[in-house]
Structure 1
């Protein structure tokens, strides 16, 4: 017989070893875990051109990188000064790719290494030769400029650019439909807010990168107050996808902190009250922690990174694993070793684990990486949690001092349940009513709008739309697309489309447009402009003729002659040559290049007649893309895959239960509560007007897994009164702890968390009641 001291030492050694393994695993995961926040991981593979564009825009497109800034609360001159100071400060931050406020007068408006190519990028030579008459007119204009307030701007450019083509390009490259300018910077229509447009290096859904960018903007705003002390009361607004991502991240972290704190306190109190042993809540957390770390590790090994949704939702799913030690603890009793108790429970426990894992395994074939991660996380986590409950936890637990079967309160409750009539016809009636409600309740059944999953307040979205309108930012719904085998082909197509769009703008079909060819002409166009450039002797003769009777030295414009010679001999510029310049972002967002094809996009502003635009641009090979419609079709495609996975999961789950129980009546008693609970959840959600989204469907599997566990354990208890009472105790504790967790999630302001919490909380209630009424062993073996 083993000595008590030896048992205590072995338990302590196992506990320390287990905790040490968890600590090392957590440390390793913390060091090497790559967390992703790209929403595309939870979208199916796009099929249509609009869907492809939508997915690209969500992840890397320029629209996701744009932040809209508004400074208000001071006089126009003070606001302009702060705008200029902010623009200068943001240019030094690595997190900011571009900051624009309408000031295009500096020499930095066009990157220095692109200035010799200005006549290849500008349309001037398309209609005007670079001859003596043109140069004479320009030089006479420069004489007037030098005597005007613009002299400080013109003089540095004069020797190398007497025609000021650099400034023409700077003006041309200003955002289409830019707002009005006051004191040299952008202002809103009322003149009460200075406006800036910022493009970040990080994508919009990279909340960490966006958080750094927002911090840089706020720091620049605080520093700008030193240049304009009269604007001390000014305030800064930041809007756009990145700002929303930062706000969502902050709000989610705050809510998860208080929810996690409330969950922890509530669970400790519930478990302490249920078992009256301080060690039980602490020991019960070990399988849960083991499962969570195992799930994270499995995903980290099999995928390049772990999505934030996978972590948040995965740990929620792993919450199912807390039921495993609870069932074990409730079945402990004096006179029986913990190992014997868990051996008796294991067949039922493993049936529930296998059923849940099989249900989630169907996600591995969904074609959606996020769901695959979720499946791996859940399967690995539940398997490890169950295994540690079976083989490790019993070695740490001392024999029970009290038996839940001896509880007078539980006995009275069970006698009350036994007196209730066993529902049979009532179940069929309830199921029929639930189906009728699901089918005929008013309102939209499915939620296809991805924007409704965002926790951004409507007021913030409305403000964002206002700022976009003020800044002339492009429409986020409609775009034109032209596809070809290479970039050159689609740039030429864009150039042919430009006159069509100009006519449509004059006709009021749209307010404005922007396309890559505005910044980067096709190679063919650049070659044509090169051919129009005079050679050096010819240009020098034209310049000498233009300088007659003008007060300029003959050799003053040698840099200009040199630039033109460089442009004549240079290779035409391509998108690759724009790397590291503000033009790179403008062009890369409107010219998408793949290994075998290229797509030129046209962003639209103020589209009033989509049908007329679509008809007019079709002959030019352009297609109007409706990104809202694309997002809805993508969600519908996602839902079809998920529903197919659910159908397969239901069949596999039923098959697993059949193999475990091998008795039709027992199988029916176990599956009926879960099936009816699913119908009731859907009926309640429909009655209260909830549109079902993808996370409701995923949560239904979790709720079904919980219900299956409850029913399996009631069936396992058979007609043994003590086992029935122990099972009742376990299921009550399981239900209360799970209900606590998901009820708190249902109170969240985050739509995804609210959908998960509300769905599973309803499932816990319905599954507990129905499992208690239906799945318990009947008084007669002949009864259902």
Structure 2
């Protein structure tokens, strides 16, 4: 029977191996940070809007190249463009320059008469025939110069003002065929490049980052005193890939090397090292394959988190070889049968704890949960099915193992004495004081671990260009495109109050570039009447008979605008049809005052079809809710685990349960005393402590008084400390908090477990 299970598991492992070849050659890794975030529970369209904004920027690099004077800035920009364009398969210049204005002019020219600003609309409504005629005469006789159109097509000179209002959405202006702005003591040239590779398919080689840094160095060398500021999703994606790769090497390889060193010191044999290594490799391979099959793609952060699996999955191999020492090979089958009940119970508690991660609606957490749970199952099945067949040689007790196993007799044991109760009281006061000081923090920015220089460049570029925020916006809904544009117009009336009061620099809406059909028709009638009066006044004053140009009969439609390159600025804000509704996004520029956010939320109140979205606040609220939910689940989990332990260990179950409870409270108390806030990822660490910490007590109760059980617990505890403790080195704040939680909790549980062991000569009955 054991041979059948071994063969069956071999077939599964071979299938996993074939899948691994396909997985690594098909680049099924994901670096998109949005994939880690929960979907909006009440409004899926909010998630779609966020995704649309992210997709629109996922391949774009925006650069500002600046110098003390305009000539130097142009030279520096030419150097930067040349360096960044060397590899057309990597980066391609975007059509973001003064020439792009010609494309937009051609699109809008037939509809010029129905493109009015609110100020123009108000003026045309109240202006007299004399005022209109005077303005038209002034425009007719003004000095010749560059014009957007001839006088007959725009006798009142309305169109330049409309374009000036559109240009106000950015501080960049055309100059010498480039886009220029001045700020912070420099003249800047605006450049844009499009990545030919998806930002979320980038590897850890940092190709775009390398090109950008070479361009930065070339600019500085060619034009001393010049500066290049660059931002874009591809740079963040490459930084995330590089960081994840480094951390996987530090955490995964480092912890595996530490585990194998422990195995060597304990057993002084290559066979345990190889077999434990095989169980770890197979466990990780199974985890990757199952996760890829369920989620299609595996996130890099999942691999970083999963690399700590090494610290848990080797427990089963340790337990087997610790019990195997000093016993003849002929007993290995019976030995495994005796170990299986305790190992299965330990596996169940760990898997349940890992799968609890999947309750929260975070795709990233669900991946981590499935990855870790299946990885443990894979490692366990490798030990249970293969070790009795592959472990054929002798395994004598080494001096190191002997000394460690006998140290259990010298380890203090909890007894009802004054000294123990005094120590317990001191510990209780420490825990209560720490819990009293414990604070919470639920901030989505804890998911970020971007390099500081990228964040600094992003902020500077956003400040200079006045870019809109992708985290706070208004989502406008309507039965059709026309209703969406009409509702945008009503929202803009309220936002104009904030702009007039200088509380908000501005906003960007689709209806700025595409008024509703009804508004276009009304503006066309208004401009036709006013311009007819103006042309008549000019004819009377000059004795000539000028005529007003003819314009398109219909209206400019969303389909026409979106099909033109002129829509590049607002294309990502038009969501179009989703289900039976249409949606658009109104974005806000220069939003850097948190105190303004509640007022903006109030601006949407009472406007049908308009919703204020503060994605940062929404996700932070989700983090808070699920932290509270997971906290409640931990309490229920402790109760459930205690009941499970009671079914096997009866009145002695508290000995396996209490160390984990105290270790959890001790960790929270330390956080309180040192000022480390409690967050969702800390709570997730506490959940895993429940599953893994109880394992040590189970091993000690299953084999009371046996030095091999203590040896297995000691090895498992130290290796877990190494792997999870290394997570505290992660540059990702969430993983670092998780690692610190596991480090403190594991130390406390490991030290307390032998103190709660059974008295000598007593069993669990």
Q: TM-score interval w.r.t. the shorter chain?
A: 0.7 to 0.9
Q: 1 CA distance for matches of 2:754 and 2:618?
A: 46
Find the partner of 1:640 among 608, 613, 628: 628
User: How far 1:212 moved relative to its partner?
Assistant: 8.5
Q: What does residue 629 of structure 1 align with?
A: 617
Q: What does residue 432 of structure 2 align with?
A: 436
Q: Residues 86 and 220 of structure 1 are in contact (CA less than 8 Å); yes or no, is this contact kept in structure 2?
A: no
Please list, as runs of the form range in 1=range in 2, the aligned pairs for 1:386-405 lying within 5 A after superposition.
386-403=380-397
Q: 2 CA distance for matches of 1:217 and 1:410?
A: 55
Q: 2 CA distance for matches of 1:209 and 1:253?
A: 9
User: How far 1:412 moved relative to its partner?
Assistant: 4.6
Q: Residues 111 and 581 of structure 1 are in contact (CA less than 8 Å); yes or no, is this contact kept in structure 2?
A: no
Change in Cα spacing, 1:697 to 1:140, as seen in structure 2 (3 Å) is: same
Q: 1 CA distance for matches of 2:93 and 2:304?
A: 34
Provide structure 1 residue ranges, at least 5 long, that are not aligned to the other structure.
Answer: 1-6
Change in Cα spacing, 1:455 to 1:484, as seen in structure 2 (3 Å) is: same
Q: Residues 481 and 623 of structure 1 are in contact (CA less than 8 Å); yes or no, is this contact kept in structure 2?
A: yes
Q: 2 CA distance for matches of 1:576 and 1:639?
A: 48
Q: What does residue 166 of structure 2 align with?
A: 173
User: How far 1:19 moved relative to its partner?
Assistant: 8.2
Q: Residues 468 and 587 of structure 2 are in contact (CA less than 8 Å); yes or no, is this contact kept in structure 1?
A: no
Change in Cα spacing, 1:380 to 1:457, as seen in structure 2 (3 Å) is: closer
Residue 349 of structure 1 pairs with residue 343 of structure 2: yes
613-622 vs 710-719, which moves further: 613-622
TM-score, length-scaled by structure 2: 0.81
User: How far 1:302 moved relative to its partner?
Assistant: 2.2
199-208 vs 179-188, which moves further: 199-208
Q: 1 CA distance for matches of 2:54 and 2:514?
A: 18
Please list, as runs of the form range in 1=range in 2, the aligned pairs for 1:291-302 lying within 5 A after superposition.
291-302=283-294
User: How far 1:498 moved relative to its partner?
Assistant: 3.2
Find the partner of 2:230 among 238, 252, 260: 238
Change in Cα spacing, 1:324 to 1:160, as seen in structure 2 (3 Å) is: farther
Residue 777 of structure 1 pairs with residue 758 of structure 2: yes
Q: What does residue 273 of structure 2 align with?
A: 281
199-208 vs 619-628, which moves further: 199-208
Q: 2 CA distance for matches of 1:433 and 1:204?
A: 55
Change in Cα spacing, 1:525 to 1:18, as seen in structure 2 (3 Å) is: closer
Deviations 1:558-590 (A, max 9, x none): xx96xx55x22x453116741462524524326
Q: Secondary structure at the match of 2:202?
A: helix
User: How far 1:408 moved relative to its partner?
Assistant: 4.7
Q: 1 CA distance for matches of 2:562 and 2:486?
A: 18
Deviations 1:466-510 (A, max 9, x none): 432222223566544544433322321222343443343233332
User: How far 1:330 moved relative to its partner?
Assistant: 1.4
Q: Residues 442 and 680 of structure 2 are in contact (CA less than 8 Å); yes or no, is this contact kept in structure 1?
A: no
Q: What does residue 355 of structure 2 align with?
A: 361
Q: Secondary structure at the match of 1:173?
A: helix
Find the partner of 2:243 among 251, 259, 262: 251
Q: Residues 173 and 181 of structure 2 are in contact (CA less than 8 Å); yes or no, is this contact kept in structure 1?
A: yes
Please list, as runs of the form range in 1=range in 2, the aligned pairs for 1:525-604 lying within 5 A after superposition.
525-529=519-523, 564-565=550-551, 567-568=552-553, 570=554, 572-574=556-558, 577-579=561-563, 581=565, 583-589=567-573, 594-597=578-581, 598-604=583-589
Residue 664 of structure 1 pairs with residue 660 of structure 2: no
Q: Residues 357 and 382 of structure 1 are in contact (CA less than 8 Å); yes or no, is this contact kept in structure 2?
A: yes
Q: 1 CA distance for matches of 2:556 and 2:203?
A: 35
Q: Residues 104 and 167 of structure 1 are in contact (CA less than 8 Å); yes or no, is this contact kept in structure 2?
A: no
Find the partner of 1:491 among 476, 482, 485: 485
Change in Cα spacing, 1:611 to 1:334, as seen in structure 2 (3 Å) is: closer
Q: What does residue 378 of structure 2 align with?
A: 384
Q: What does residue 335 of structure 1 align with?
A: 328
Residue 57 of structure 1 pairs with residue 50 of structure 2: yes
Q: Residues 342 and 698 of structure 2 are in contact (CA less than 8 Å); yes or no, is this contact kept in structure 1?
A: yes
650-659 vs 384-393, which moves further: 650-659
Q: What does residue 687 of structure 1 align with?
A: 673
405-414 vs 757-766, which moves further: 405-414
Deviations 1:149-181 (A, max 9, x none): x5xxx59x7699777988666544335252688
Q: What does residue 472 of structure 1 align with?
A: 466
User: How far 1:420 moved relative to its partner?
Assistant: 7.3
Q: What does residue 144 of structure 1 align with?
A: 144
764-773 vs 702-711, which moves further: 702-711
Q: Secondary structure at the match of 1:69?
A: strand
Q: 1 CA distance for matches of 2:28 and 2:46?
A: 26
Change in Cα spacing, 1:530 to 1:24, as seen in structure 2 (3 Å) is: same
Change in Cα spacing, 1:614 to 1:256, as seen in structure 2 (3 Å) is: closer
703-712 vs 308-317, which moves further: 308-317
Deviations 1:23-43 (A, max 9, x none): 433202224563333444444
Change in Cα spacing, 1:654 to 1:419, as seen in structure 2 (3 Å) is: closer
User: How far 1:433 moved relative to its partner?
Assistant: 3.1
User: How far 1:778 moved relative to its partner?
Assistant: 1.4
Change in Cα spacing, 1:611 to 1:304, as seen in structure 2 (3 Å) is: closer
User: How far 1:70 moved relative to its partner?
Assistant: 3.2
Q: Residues 67 and 241 of structure 1 are in contact (CA less than 8 Å); yes or no, is this contact kept in structure 2?
A: yes
Q: Residues 90 and 216 of structure 1 are in contact (CA less than 8 Å); yes or no, is this contact kept in structure 2?
A: no
User: How far 1:435 moved relative to its partner?
Assistant: 4.3
User: How far 1:518 moved relative to its partner?
Assistant: 0.9
User: How far 1:144 moved relative to its partner?
Assistant: 0.8
Q: Residues 288 and 322 of structure 1 are in contact (CA less than 8 Å); yes or no, is this contact kept in structure 2?
A: yes
Change in Cα spacing, 1:508 to 1:216, as seen in structure 2 (3 Å) is: same
User: How far 1:187 moved relative to its partner?
Assistant: 3.3
Please list, as runs of the form range in 1=range in 2, the aligned pairs for 1:517-532 lying within 5 A after superposition.
517-529=511-523
Provide structure 2 residue ranges, at least 5 long, that are not aligned to the other structure.
Answer: none
Change in Cα spacing, 1:382 to 1:412, as seen in structure 2 (3 Å) is: closer
Q: What does residue 757 of structure 1 align with?
A: 739
Q: What does residue 501 of structure 1 align with?
A: 495
Deviations 1:249-298 (A, max 9, x none): 32332333244443343333222222111232222111212222222222
Q: 1 CA distance for matches of 2:250 and 2:585?
A: 47
Q: Secondary structure at the match of 1:70?
A: strand
Deviations 1:523-570 (A, max 9, x none): 2122334556879xx99x9999799999xxx9xx9xx96xx55x22x4
340-349 vs 409-418, which moves further: 409-418
459-468 vs 307-316, which moves further: 459-468
473-482 vs 122-131, which moves further: 122-131
Q: Secondary structure at the match of 2:228?
A: strand
The CA RMSD over aligned residues, in Å, is: 4.8
Please list, as runs of the form range in 1=range in 2, the aligned pairs for 1:206-217 lying within 5 A after superposition.
206=200, 208=202, 214=208
Q: What does residue 313 of structure 2 align with?
A: 321
Q: 1 CA distance for matches of 2:392 and 2:742?
A: 34
Deviations 1:91-129 (A, max 9, x none): 99798899587x546654517555434444454985669
Q: Secondary structure at the match of 1:187?
A: strand
Change in Cα spacing, 1:615 to 1:375, as seen in structure 2 (3 Å) is: closer
Q: Residues 68 and 238 of structure 1 are in contact (CA less than 8 Å); yes or no, is this contact kept in structure 2?
A: yes
Q: 2 CA distance for matches of 1:623 and 1:14?
A: 56
Please list, as runs of the form range in 1=range in 2, the aligned pairs for 1:25-64 lying within 5 A after superposition.
25-32=19-26, 34-47=28-41, 53=46, 56-57=49-50, 60-61=53-54
Change in Cα spacing, 1:223 to 1:258, as seen in structure 2 (3 Å) is: closer
Q: Residues 474 and 603 of structure 1 are in contact (CA less than 8 Å); yes or no, is this contact kept in structure 2?
A: yes
